[in-house]
Structure 1
Amino acid sequence: MTTTIDGSRIARRIRQQVAEEVAAAALSGTVPGLATILVGDDPASAVYVAAKRRAIKEAGMRDFHRHLPHHATHDDVAEVIDALAADPEVSGILLQLPLPRHLDGMALINRIPVTKDVDGLTTASAGRLARGERGLRPCTPSGVLELLDAENIPLRGANVAVVGWGELVGKPLTQLLLSRGATVSVAHEHTTDLAAVTRAADIVVVATGVRGLVGPEHVRPGVVVIDVGIHRTPSGLAGDVRSAELDGIADRITPVPGGVGPMTIAMLLVNTLRAARWGAEREAVAA
């Protein structure tokens, strides 16, 4: 039987731990705060931001939200980011993507100070990750590692196939896995024989945005499969993996929903708490 990895349960544990640490920090006058920036009225983005704000409040953190109209200019958004960057009450800043097409998302993200980049998406954060320096890591890849750790799945010496080389998941996840001593193979849209890459792996992480891409023909018995994809279908949510077809083949697998998804917000809380602590360290040194 294939065991389902309960990401919702693991995420709840992390969120509870963060809430306890926030309550303890509040006793000394340090309360983390997250600023979310939403530009426009994209329904999906609005739902995601609402979920993040709800989680922040439940953890006892302060909620600094900014909502700009769809027609906001680059300078309008930049002004908001700069003001939040200068605000000592704001521990972390999150610019919700995607942005309206007339805005340069990467240029705006790079205005976020690396010390407040709770999404881990700035060029400076990527550089720190590549060099193994202290920094805030992207939430979804960090959540994948937390899932594996919670399941006591060893990474040192493991063969891991990462399917997908996107900036949000595939590339940073590869760096994180390498830092943990895993041997990593990366497959992507130009890979001519996907199964040749994935069948040799102990762990397969799929983050392509292609529904049902990976099935039993791609994995060996006993593999651990982490499905990062999420797609809305007439019959409900589905992932990048044909999970039902892997029952009895995979040792463990994450479901969609209830697998990686809940971990992303949990790790956002972790990053916000870390950012607040590092901010307090800088203030102590400055004093």
Structure 2
Amino acid sequence: MSTPPTAAPAVPVLIELRDVTCGYGDRIILENVNLSVPRGKVLALMGTSGGGKTTVLRLIGRQLQPIKGQVLFDGVDIATLDAQGLHTMRRRMGMLFQFGALFTDLSVFDNVAFPLREHTNLGESMIRDLVLMKLNAVGLRGARDLLPSQVSGGMARRVALARAIALDPDLIMYDEPFAGLDPISMSVAATLIKDLNHALGVTSIVVSHDVAETFLIADHIVFVANGKIAAQGSPAEMRASDDPLVQQFVNAQTDGPVRFHYPAVSVEEDFGAGAAR
């Protein structure tokens, strides 16, 4: 018998979505979603493409506004923040984009230094020390003078991670951190996410399709499908779940709620209509 999914652990919450509905134009992406992100934990958002996972990240950063409902950061409804309050809140967040989004004309060092120069009044000597500390944390202190074009995809992702933690955020959001990485780089990235989460005491939200690595590092997993939370629980609970969607996703099954074929009339109708013409 499978273990029933449980809600996120009863620990202090950093992020909360309350009855959130969100969309683009007339298209609803998320509908009546309730989600709590425990402070100091790694929460993974998983599910099929287009299900609304990255939309959750955009709501938290207030790149999108909900049609209805509330998005709370540390107990504050972010919709109520003025420009200065939003700036202050965003300084408490770090973001790792899907392919790093490094500035191609800046060195590794200057990419990591960028948020420190833009958002603090620190002197260059202090910035240098902080940048080297962040690069050392991701194993790239020796690559400080290289350009993004001179490092591998996995290394570029680590540079982006060093930049994401430059301002010592309370929250780090990862959008597909394992996409396009070889197995070694993927393992390195997963280890860094988990280790930095513990060492820095931050909260992490990881959007990923990679079951193996994500299940190793996540404390809590939330499956998003068709704009709703379909299932959630610990990695062990999700592996044991008898939910058809979870089983199809975790075990990479071709048969299940997610169909291979786009909805269409029957083959007989299509070919019959062609013959009639």
Band of TM-score, shorter chain: under 0.3
Q: Considering Cα pairs closer than 8 Å and 6+ residues apart, tell me whether 1 or 2 has the greater RCO.
A: 2
Structure with more of its chain in strand, by fraction: 2
